[in-house]
Structure 1
Amino acid sequence: MTETRHAAPAGFQHGITAAQARIVVDETLAKGRALGLAPLTVVVLDAGGQLKAALREDGASLLRTDIAWGKAFGAMALGFGSRELARRSQSMTGFMNALSDLAGGRAVPVPGGVLVRAADGAVLGAVGVSGDASDKDEVCAVAGVHAAGLTPDTGDAA
C-alpha cells in the first residue's frame, strides 16, 4: 500500500509535528528495549499541552499513561524539565501543593518529563515516560527526542 503525503493544513501551529512525535515514541521505546527496562509508556504533548502521541507497551501497569502524561504536563506547565520540578518539590513544598491544586493533580514532579525544543530554543512540546526508575525513563525520553532531530531539556543545565 502506498502512503499518500498531504501538505500540512493551514491554521494553528502546534509545535512538534505528528511525524516527529511518532519518532520520539518509537525511539524512546527502542531505547527502553535496548536497556532491558520494564515496559514503558510514552506520552508526547504539543506546544499547547495537548496530546500528540502516546503508546503503552504490552505489560505496562495500569497508571503508567497517567504518570507519563503528568511528567510531560508538569514540564509544560512550568517551562522546564521535570528533573528541575523534582528538585523544587523538595525545597518548595507549599508551591508544589499549590501547583498540584492548580493543575488538578496532573503535574508529576519526578524525572522523566522532558521539554522538546527546536534548535533556536523554542518549546515545541514535551515527552513523558513512565515504567521503570525515573532516571531510566528520562534517558529513554532524551534518546527519543534526539532521534527526532530535536533538543531535549530535562531541567538540568546542558
Structure 2
Amino acid sequence: MPKAKIETKLVSYGIYTKWDANCKKLPKLQRFTTEVPAEIDIEFGMIINIKKAKGKQIHCCIDHPGVLDEHGQKRPPFKDTLYIRDNNWDFFLGDTVWAPVADKLGKWALSIELEGQVIAQKTFHIAPYQETQVKQEESLKDLLFGE
C-alpha cells in the first residue's frame, strides 16, 4: 500500500498573543504582518499544520539579526529538532522581543524543514514602532490603490 502523502500548510504568521511553551494551546493571531514593532514582550512567528507525518522530525531555525549573549558575543541561530506528535499537528515557531531591544532590530528568518525540504519560512523585520507603521501604511496603499 502506498504511503500517504504528507500535507503541510502555513496557517498564519504575524503578531500573536503571549505564548506559553508549556501549554498545549497555541497563541492567537492578532495581526497578519511581517513588520513587527520593537516592543518588549511582543510575540511574532508562524503557525503551520502538518498532516500524515506522525513520528517524523521537523528541523526549526530562527536566524536572528545579531542577538548578543551575556558576554556580548553574537549568538548563533537557534536550531531545534522536534517530533511531529500526531497526524494533524499544529505547530507554532516564533520568538519575542526582550530587553535590550537594540540587538533585536533587523531581519529574523524563521524556517521549518521536513525530510530535507523547507515546508515553511517567513522573514520578519523588527523595527522601531514608527518605521513599522509607515511600512504597513505603504503596503495597505499599494494593495488598495495599486501604487
Name the structure where helix makes up a greater proportion of residues: 1
Which of the five TM-score ranges fits, normalised by the shorter chain? under 0.3
Question: Hey, which of these two has a bigger chunk of strand by percent?
Answer: 2
Could you tell me the TM-score, scaled by structure 1's length? 0.24
